[in-house]
Amino acid sequence: DAKTTQPTSMDCAEGRAANLPCNHSTISGNEYVYWYRQIHSQGPQYIIHGLKNNETNEMASLIITEDRKSSTLILPHATLRDTAVYYCIVRVTGANSKLTFGKGITLSVRP
Amino acid sequence: GAVVSQHPSRVICKSGTSVKIECRSLDFQATTMFWYRQFPKQSLMLMATSNEGSKATYEQGVEKDKFLINHASLTLSTLTVTSAHPEDSSFYICSARVPGQGAHGYTFGSGTRLTVV
């Protein structure tokens, strides 16, 4: 029972912003939105997370809609090294809350 | 930052043999570690949750007698694939929650590519 839906793939040009959408229409009030990415044959890497406010860090920005039913991860200036599978995950916080990965979206950054 | 070291990165073994994969937290104590498996072009599937000093909790459909998990110390968890078969060939990844980093503090190992021939 998928909690999030993402497009299968997208591409963008190097240097341009990459906007990765995610739908989570059944998100509950205590669930956060997390984004991880996995570069080929490596372990996943944490990017960012948020509850309802927009968030920004050195890697990306996370825009969450007011109704929290969808969000967008923004990589402001994509580089070739950003080519990866990006996973949008919703989960409650908690000491041992599990991370459950969906299929993610494959982002290809072209030169 | 917190690092989880996973070894080996690649292993090839013969069908019927056992393979041990190690996951170490290098600069923090990990009371809980998670083991995932990833088949080609698929997502990560959680196999089990490993708790220091107690039995691991396995996800539905994962054979606990085939995938032995030991978490004997706060810095080491091991996954042993027993009597491996070609269908066990996969990418195995461990993860640990980093204390003090809040709910987002999960760090992952670099993965182990297992090929059973």
Please say if the pLDDT value at position A50 is more than 50: yes
pLDDT at A66 over 50: yes
What are the chain A neighbours of B1 within 8 Å (beta carbons)?
A: none
Which has the higher per-residue pLDDT, A106 or B32? A106
Return the bridge partners of B49, or none. Answer: B34, B57
Tokens in use for A37?
């990415």
User: B8 preceded by cis ω (within 30°)?
Assistant: yes
> Given a cut of 70, is residue B104 above it in pLDDT?
no
Residue A64 has pLDDT above 90, yes or no: yes
Strand partners, A35: A48, A88
Q: Which two tokens stand for residue B90?
A: 């996969």
Give dist(CA A108, CA A8) in Å, integer. 11
Task: Please give the single-letter amino acid code of residue A22.
Answer: C
For residue A1, is pLDDT > 50? no
Mutation to test the A interface, candidates B104, B107, B114, most A Cβ within 10 Å: B104
Quote the percentage of chain B above a pLDDT of 90.
77
CA distance A12 to A53: 26
Q: Per-residue pLDDT tens for B59-99? A: 999 999 999 999 989 999 999 999 999 999 999 999 998 87
Contact check, Cβ <8 Å, A99/B45: no
Distance CA B67, CA A101 (A): 20
Average pLDDT on A94-105 reads 81
Mean pLDDT of A70-91: 96
Q: What is the mean pLDDT of residues A70-79?
A: 97
Q: Shortest Cα distance from B20 to chain A (angstroms)?
A: 18
B103 pLDDT tier (thresholds 50, 70, 90): low
